[in-house]
Each structure stands twice: as structure tokens, then as C-alpha cells.
Amino acid sequence: MFQILRDSSSSRFQVSEFILMGFPGIHSWQHWLSLPLALLYVLALIANILIVTFIYQEASLHQPMYHFLGILAIVDMGLATTIMPKILAILWFNAKAISFNECFAQMYAIHCFVAMESDIFVCMAIDRYVAIRRPLRYSSIVTESFVVKATVIMAFRNFVAPMSVPVLAAQRNYCSRNQINHCFCPNPGVTSLACDDRKIDSINQLFLAWAVMGSDLGLIIVSYALILPSVLRLNSPKAASQTLSTCTSHLILIFFFYTVIIVMPITHSAKMTVPVILLLLNVPHNVIPPALNPMVYALKNKELKEGFYLCSGWMPKEPKKGENSSHLYYFKTRLSDFLSDLVS
């Protein structure tokens, strides 16, 4: 747990591993959280694997918007897999120890995937803006080339920018405490254990939060601020309602996604006590969106639902005249309608 490092003048202890304490204040019943968290994790993996499969197997879904959905599904799986196996190991096997290198690798991966998901939200907001404000130019603006360029820029930005977080955190001197009051390795929670000054880490964390997340959130707000007048000018209330329905679910998940991201760094930087409820939200915050995004963004699209039925073999086809398959056709039709209502 500790390594003795000696220099010419003194000897000191250096932490070689951290202990993840799980959920502070609820240790006596935190194991009951394992079942819903495990179910959410499995649901996230299955749902996103299906989404990626449907998009890249069904030719009718080879469109820019669905490529973004496929990228989002991959990022969601990466984000959930970064933290959930370790959390479940803590809850099931009390495996609280995490090595120095593993902790900082997890820290880096979390920052990468969260920033990537934030950028995808921006791309989807831009897509909605172009579709609603510039419908006649949509096919010429949101093209395959646009998706490729946006993906390359997102990947470069979000794999390079977060490098400073674990690099600076790893350079701190961890000489005494090694218990992290969390179930994974957040940067503020880890650097708060350092024996030396961590001011530069806090400044870097806030700078990245506002430069990356702040700019993304600003673009999303501007996009929807420009969309709203166009929706209100629609003559048909039904058309306005349908247009807003394509944005409502997106806005709900955006609010949930950004609230914890903004509040947690502020409370840590202000040296405030982080409420237990925020620590509890910080875990499902990383696993609920991956589980819900396929339904919120993907399965509400008619084309993707039809792709689901085609790939699964459940697209009902009217039987030919004389064929004795009316019961099967009726069953498939009813099941298709049920699934459509379920995900709509």
C-alpha cells in the first residue's frame, strides 16, 4: 500500500494504491445498489450493441444522423465500461483497492468519454437546428463528409485535451491518506488526498470544464434558442408539437448530463462538503444515459425502428393469397405495434 522512498535528507512514504470507499454514509446497505446498477449496465451494453448492429447492417440507415447515433452508442459503452466493472467488484467482492496507474488511467478514460459525449450532444443539436431552420439545405450541409470531419475533430480534441488531468494529478505527492470517498477515481477526490499544493490541478480542471463543457453547453443553448422561434412560427399546432417532441427528450438528457458535471467541480473547488445525493447521482449519471440514449435518440426514429424489425425478422408481411399464415401475420402485427408504442 505504501512504498518507502528515500532521498539524501529524509525518508517519506509514497502511496502506491488507493482504496475506493464506495458510497460514503450508506455503507451498510450499498450492496443493495448492485442489482439495479448491474441491470442498467447490461441494458446499456445490449441496447447500444443492437443500435450499432442495426445502423451498420441496414443500408437504409447509412445516413449522417444515424452515424452520429452509432458513435454515441460506442462512446456510451466505453463510458459505462470504464467505471461499472470496478463498482460492481466493490459492491460484490469488496475489491476496494485500485492501483496508482489504474486509477489515473480510469480518470483519463472518464474525461475522454464524457467530453466525447458532450460533443456528440452538440452535433445532434446542430443537426436539429439545420433540420428545422434550414430543411431545404439539410442534405447539402449534414453530409457524410461533415460526419467524418466532426468525428475526427471530436476524437482529437477529446483524447488530447484531457491528458493534462491525470498527468498533473499523478505528479502530486500522495504521502499519507489513500482512501477515496467514492467508487471510482474522480480528479477532485483523488487530488484532495495529496500532501502538496493542488491549486494547479483545480485551475486546470475548472479551465477544461468551462473550455470543453462550457463551450459545448453554450452552443447547445444557442442552437435551441434559434430553433424555438421557428417552431413557434409554425401555423399548425400539431406540426409544432411534433417538432418539439424531437427535441424534448434530447433536452431532458442534456440537463441530467450537465447538472452533475457542473455542480461537482464547483463544490470541490469551493471546498464544500459534497452531498451524498450528488455522489449517488454521479454513478447513475455515467450509466443511465448509456442505457436510455438508444431509446431516447434512436428507437423514436421510424427508420431505425423499421431497421430493428427487419434485422430481427419481425417486420410483419401480409401473407399471400391462399397461404394459411393469418394467425402468424396477426401476431407479428400486434407485436410490432406494441414495440412501436413502447419505444415511442
Average pLDDT over residues 15-26: 81
- Residue 77 in domain: yes
- Top pLDDT among 333 and 288 is at 288
- Residue 3 in domain: no
Domain limits for position 203 = 31-83+109-171+196-312
Give the predicted TM-score (pTM) of the model.
0.82
pLDDT on residue 104: 96
- Residue 43 in domain: yes
pLDDT on residue 217: 92
Residue 246: burial class (beta carbons within 10 Å; 0-12, 13-18, 19+): middle
Asked if pLDDT for residue 2 goes beyond 50, the answer is no
CATH number of 122's domain: 1.20.1070.10
- Residue 141 in domain: yes
**Distances in whole angstroms, Cα of residue 188 to Cα of each of 198, 224, 268, 271, 274:** 9, 32, 6, 10, 11
What is the tens place of the pLDDT at every residue in 23-39? 766 667 777 888 888 99
pLDDT confidence band for 332 (50 / 70 / 90): very low
Computed over every residue of the chain, the mean pLDDT equals 79
- Residue 241 in domain: yes
pLDDT confidence band for 156 (50 / 70 / 90): very high
Least confident of 43-52, 210-219, 243-252: 243-252
pLDDT confidence band for 240 (50 / 70 / 90): confident
- Rounded Cα distance between 261 and 272, Å, is 16
- Residue 14 in domain: no
What is the tens place of the pLDDT at every residue in 82-112? 999 999 998 888 899 999 999 999 999 999 9
Average pLDDT over residues 64-69: 84
- Residue 12 in domain: no
Asked if pLDDT for residue 305 goes beyond 80, the answer is no
- Residue 254 in domain: yes
- Rounded Cα distance between 160 and 164, Å, is 8
pLDDT on residue 7: 43
When divided into structural domains, the chain yields a total of: 1
